[in-house]
């Protein structure tokens, strides 16, 4: 079997299996918790969170080394990164709430300056005697290859907790995401729910730091929810669809990277997620580009067909080429432009329905029903057969349509 | 402030300053137009651009290709936004993370990593290494032989900075009107859409040139922090732009000085990353402006409103 399928089936060795399962869990957690960020239109908050973890990693390393411990303890570094990420988020929240600056400016400012501070700390660490082999640069882009069993356990436990918290908080968070003022009126504390949402994002970011790195974890929080949005309009489903997409890209991406040497895990996970996104963008049933194009063409054909039939019923010449082709292909006119029997019948029906609508507008002066007239909705869909019979009575007996006597 | 200063510090400070100004100027308008994060997106996209440029042309100094990458990214963001009906922030997030991931992958797969091109370099820049070898003191500024050995980043960054300033001056009225009242600008016959694209491309030029010299952290920070701080100082656009230039220069100079000489004050031998320090200082400046800036609160928001 080829190495990729081996890795997919967890046969590529202990370490590869560990990474694949860890990445899958992380992807599921990131996708489902990132959904609310996306629905709340704050997707890029995750970018600031991720960059704001870097100074925390540096500070934690320096503190641990100066206290005499091994500075590379993953738990310690992750705790440190969570603290600065949280501070960064609070700062964004504070700037956006208390000053005239918009949230995007606050995000960019915190992102840039925290990341700068992190780089400064990294250069300090490089000059420390304990810092030469610290490998903290691995947090920039992740280093799945060196993942240990305990790292995988951290990811598994943390990821499951994040998913569980998402499940617990799904109702208030959905409410706030769709209508914050309504949520406030219902008695929810919107600010606290927002903070919880951000806390969840911080948790996922921190868990994913080791595996995919702080720049690409942003992708795992943003891309799966955006992808899931193509497939559903229901908020209760989008969470889990995003989770599945995230988990899938994590798992498949990790398998890819295990199957080929020197293929970095983080970028492959992100590119897998991006591939799923691209597929959804094009082929999703209702919101996808292909569906939109098909819908547009169908609509265009209906409009042209109706306009053509109306012209036939009034014996007006048709000059629009597309209409002519359309009518010819459906056997409504002959190649020389003269209507066939079916064409006459259909034209007569269109003309009659048009008259029926006129009557309907006289009877129903309010726009409730007649407002649905757009030229394409069949009158049978709006009015009952009884009503239509009534319109026909008022229309009087059928008369010969002009031009077809 | 003798020969050492000219040799080791003068050129990095000047390059940093030019880069900061070139980014801060368009940043003023980006912030007012709620497009602040375009700078963030562009600076992430520069990495795949630089890798692709290297793979195709074999050199690292391919500014037009980098610019091409930035423009492609902007187009992609717009396409994802329109085609998918996705809100701008998320569209940006999808596009730049994907391109960045592609860049990292390309980098790992190619030989580019062997020629002093790596992700850390792209992020941090190497401001400290842009020293002026032939300088012997202030008099070298008048010596054509020594001037010829100036790091090539300095003239390039200076040209870009001047270009950005000229563009700002030429399109000042149009930019101002269309930023504050797009409908009015349209009624006046100003090509609003083209102007918006032009602004983003100007930002991309500044970002790419600055990235080449000082890394992407400075780019992100300088697009946002100085203009945002300036926004809290005044209600006049003209004054705001001057403040933003002042803050940008302040951050660049102080950041470099802190990075180069700060550790010495604490008894350490080694300098820290200048690019990182400049970004940090700009963040601190913004923090101070948020706390004490005379126009920090939103118009029409009373004290009791902000307190909740």
Maximum Cα–Cα distance for chain B, whole Å? 65
Structure tokens at A361: 């507008």
How far is it, in rounded angstroms, from Cα A67 to Cα A202? Answer: 26
Whether the CB-CB separation of B15 and B165 falls below 8 Å is answered with: no
Q: How confident is the model at residue B48 (pLDDT cuts 50, 70, 90)?
A: confident
Q: Which of B36, B93, B104 sits opposite A218 (nearest CB)?
A: B93
How far is it, in rounded angstroms, from Cα B25 to Cα B32? Answer: 12
Interface residue B116 vs chain A (CB under 8 A) = no
Q: Which residues, 6+ apart, have CB-to-CB distance to A91 below 8 Å? A: A106, A110, B287
Interface residue A41 vs chain B (CB under 8 A) = yes
* Least Cα separation, residue B175 to chain A (angstroms): 19
Answer whether B109 sits within 8 Å of A271, measured CB to CB.
no
Domains assigned to chain A: 3-281 (1.10.3470.10), 291-395 (no CATH)
Interface ipTM: 0.88
Residues of A in contact with B280 (CB under 8 A): 113, 116-117, 120
Nearest CA to A205 out of A117, A124, A114, A95 is that of: A114
Which has the higher per-residue pLDDT, A44 or B306? A44
Mean per-residue pLDDT, B169-176: 93
The residue count for chain B: 308
Three-state SS annotation for A276-319: HHHHHHHHCCCCCHHHHHHHHHHHHHHHHHHHHHHHHHCCCCCC
Residue in chain B nearest A288 by alpha carbon: B84
Answer whether B220 sits within 8 Å of A107, measured CB to CB.
no
Interface residue B294 vs chain A (CB under 8 A) = no
Residues of B in contact with A109 (CB under 8 A): 221, 224-225, 228, 283, 286
CA triplet A54, A55, A60: central angle to 5 degrees? 105
Helix locations, chain B, DSSP H: 3-4, 11-32, 38-57, 63-84, 88-109, 119-124, 144-147, 153-170, 172-180, 182-187, 192-214, 216-231, 237-265, 274-292, 303-307
Count of alpha carbons within 13 Å of A191, Cβ hemisphere only? 6
Residues of A in contact with B278 (CB under 8 A): 116
Residues of B in contact with A271 (CB under 8 A): 98, 101-102, 105
Query: Is 50 exceeded by the pLDDT of residue B308?
Result: no
The residue count for chain A: 405
> Looking at residue A73, what is its pLDDT?
78
Mean per-residue pLDDT, B252-278: 82
> Looking at residue B265, what is its pLDDT?
76
Interface residue B94 vs chain A (CB under 8 A) = yes
Mean of the per-residue pLDDT values of chain B? 83
Mean per-residue pLDDT, B80-96: 89
Structure tokens at A332: 């409504």
- DSSP secondary structure string, B59-124? -S--HHHHHHHHHHHHHHHHHHHHHHT--HHHHHHHHHHHHHHHHHHHHHHSGGGGSS--HHHHHH
Burial B196-231 (b: 16+ CB within 10 A, else e): bebbbbbbbbbbbbbbbbbbbbbbbbbbbbbbbbbb
Q: How confident is the model at residue B118 (pLDDT cuts 50, 70, 90)?
A: low
Nearest CA to B272 out of A140, A62, A362 is that of: A62
Write down the pTM of the prediction: 0.85
Helix, strand or coil, per DSSP, at residue B233:
coil
How far is it, in rounded angstroms, from Cα A14 to Cα A107? Answer: 40
Q: Which residues, 6+ apart, have CB-to-CB distance to A380 below 8 Å? A: A388
* Least Cα separation, residue A176 to chain B (angstroms): 17
> Looking at residue A405, what is its pLDDT?
43
Q: Which of B87, B277, B297 sits opposite A116 (nearest CB)?
A: B277
Nearest CA to B97 out of B28, B17, B37, B13 is that of: B37
Distance from the first to the final alpha carbon of chain B: 51
Whether the CB-CB separation of A77 and A57 falls below 8 Å is answered with: yes
What residues of chain A, 125 to 144, have a C-beta less than 8 Å from chain B? 127, 137, 140-141
How far is it, in rounded angstroms, from Cα A93 to Cα A107? Answer: 9
Q: Which of A104, A110, A225 sits opposite B34 (nearest CB)?
A: A104
Answer whether B221 sits within 8 Å of A114, measured CB to CB.
no
Which has the higher per-residue pLDDT, B152 or B194? B194
> Looking at residue A226, what is its pLDDT?
94
Range of weakest confidence among A232-236, B76-80, B303-307: B303-307
Bridge partners (DSSP) listed for residue A333:
A339
Could you tell me what percentage of chain A is helix, strand and coil, using 3-state DSSP and rounding each to the nearest 5? 75, 0, 25
How far is it, in rounded angstroms, from Cα B64 to Cα A178? Answer: 43
Answer whether B98 sits within 8 Å of A38, measured CB to CB.
no
Q: How confident is the model at residue B60 (pLDDT cuts 50, 70, 90)?
A: low
Nearest CA to A134 out of A58, A205, A215 is that of: A58
Interface residue B308 vs chain A (CB under 8 A) = no
How far is it, in rounded angstroms, from Cα B205 to Cα B163? Answer: 10
Domain at B3-122+144-214, CATH class: mainly alpha
Nearest CA to A163 out of A242, A80, A91 is that of: A242
> Looking at residue B208, what is its pLDDT?
83
* Least Cα separation, residue B236 to chain A (angstroms): 14
pLDDT mean values, one per 10 residues, chain A (405 residues): 68 77 90 90 89 92 84 83 94 90 91 91 79 68 72 84 89 87 90 89 88 87 94 89 94 85 83 94 90 92 89 85 88 85 88 84 74 76 83 75 51
Which has the higher per-residue pLDDT, B145 or A51? A51
* Least Cα separation, residue B192 to chain A (angstroms): 22
Mean per-residue pLDDT, B175-200: 90
Whether the CB-CB separation of A119 and B275 falls below 8 Å is answered with: yes
Q: Which of B232, B280, B297 sits opposite A117 (nearest CB)?
A: B280
Query: Is 60 exceeded by the pLDDT of residue B115?
Result: no
Q: How confident is the model at residue B250 (pLDDT cuts 50, 70, 90)?
A: very high
Residue ranges covered by each domain of chain B:
3-122+144-214
């Amino acid at each position: 079997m080829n190495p990729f399928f081996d890795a997919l089936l967890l046969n590529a060795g202990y370490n590869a299996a560990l990474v694949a399962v860890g990445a899958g869990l992380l992807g599921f957690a990131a996708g489902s918790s990132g959904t609310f960020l996306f629905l709340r239109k704050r997707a890029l908050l995750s970018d600031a969170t991720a960059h704001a973890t870097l100074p925390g990693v540096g500070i934690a390393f320096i503190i641990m080394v100066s206290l005499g411990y091994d500075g590379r303890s993953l738990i310690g570094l992750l705790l440190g990164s969570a603290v600065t990420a949280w501070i960064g988020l609070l700062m964004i929240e504070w700037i956006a709430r208390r000053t005239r600056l918009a949230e995007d400016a606050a995000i960019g400012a915190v992102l840039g300056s925290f990341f700068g501070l992190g780089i400064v700390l990294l250069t300090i660490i490089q000059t420390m005697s304990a810092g030469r082999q610290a490998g903290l640069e691995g947090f920039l882009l992740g280093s799945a290859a060196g993942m240990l069993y305990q790292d995988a356990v951290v990811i598994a436990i943390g990821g499951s907790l994040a998913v569980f918290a998402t499940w617990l908080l799904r109702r208030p968070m959905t409410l706030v995401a769709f209508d914050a003022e309504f949520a406030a009126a219902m008695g929810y504390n919107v600010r606290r729910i927002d903070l919880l949402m951000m806390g969840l994002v911080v948790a996922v970011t921190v868990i994913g730091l080791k595996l995919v790195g702080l720049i690409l974890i942003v992708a795992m929080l943003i891309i799966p929810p955006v992808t899931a949005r193509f497939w559903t309009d229901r908020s209760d489903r989008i969470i889990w669809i995003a989770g599945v997409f995230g988990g899938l890209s994590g798992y498949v991406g990790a398998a890819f990277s295990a199957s080929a040497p020197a293929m970095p895990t983080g970028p492959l996970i992100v590119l897998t997620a991006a591939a799923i996104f691209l597929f959804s963008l094009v082929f999703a049933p209702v919101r996808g580009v292909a569906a939109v194009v098909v819908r547009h063409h169908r609509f265009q054909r209906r409009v042209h067909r109706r306009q053509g039939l109306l012209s036939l019923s009034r014996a007006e010449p048709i000059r629009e080429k597309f209409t002519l082709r359309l009518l010819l292909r459906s056997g409504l006119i002959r190649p020389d432009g003269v209507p066939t029997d079916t064409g006459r019948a259909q034209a007569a029906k269109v003309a009659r329905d048009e008259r029926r609508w006129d009557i309907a507008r006289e009877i129903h002066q309010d726009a409730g029903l007649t407002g649905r007239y757009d030229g394409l909705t069949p009158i049978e869909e709006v009015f009952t057969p009884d009503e239509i019979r009534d319109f026909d009575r008022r229309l009087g007996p059928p008369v010969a349509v002009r031009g077809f006597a | 402030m003798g020969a050492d200063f000219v040799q080791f510090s003068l050129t990095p400070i000047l390059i940093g300053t030019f880069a900061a100004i070139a980014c801060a100027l368009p940043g003023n308008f980006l912030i007012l137009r709620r497009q602040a994060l375009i700078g963030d997106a562009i600076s992430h996209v520069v990495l795949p651009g630089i890798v692709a440029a290297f793979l195709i042309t074999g050199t690292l100094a391919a500014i037009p290709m980098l610019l091409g990458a930035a423009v492609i990214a902007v187009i992609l963001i717009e396409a994802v936004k329109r085609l998918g009906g996705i809100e701008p922030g998320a569209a940006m997030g999808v596009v730049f993370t994907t391109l960045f991931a592609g860049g990292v992958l390309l980098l790992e797969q190619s030989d580019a990593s062997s020629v002093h091109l790596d992700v850390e370099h792209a992020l941090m820049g190497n401001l400290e290494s842009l020293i002026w070898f032939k300088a012997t003191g202030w008099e070298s500024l008048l010596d054509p032989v020594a001037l010829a050995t100036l790091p090539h980043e300095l003239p390039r960054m200076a040209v870009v900075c001047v270009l950005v300033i000229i563009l700002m001056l030429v399109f000042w009225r149009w930019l101002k009107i269309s930023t504050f009242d797009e409908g009015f600008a349209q009624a006046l016959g100003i090509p609003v859409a083209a102007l918006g694209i032009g602004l983003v491309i100007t930002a991309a030029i500044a970002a790419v040139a600055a990235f080449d010299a000082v890394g992407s952290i400075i780019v992100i920070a300088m697009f946002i922090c100085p203009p945002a701080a300036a926004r809290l100082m005044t209600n006049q656009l003209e004054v705001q732009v001057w403040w933003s230039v002042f803050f940008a220069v302040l951050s660049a100079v102080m950041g470099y000085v802190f990075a180069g000489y700060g550790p010495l004050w604490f008894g350490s031998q080694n300098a820290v990353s200048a690019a990182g320090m400049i970004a940090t200082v700009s963040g601190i400046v913004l923090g101070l402006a948020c706390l004490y800036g005379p126009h920090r609160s939103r118009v029409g928001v009373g004290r009791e409103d902000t307190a909740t």
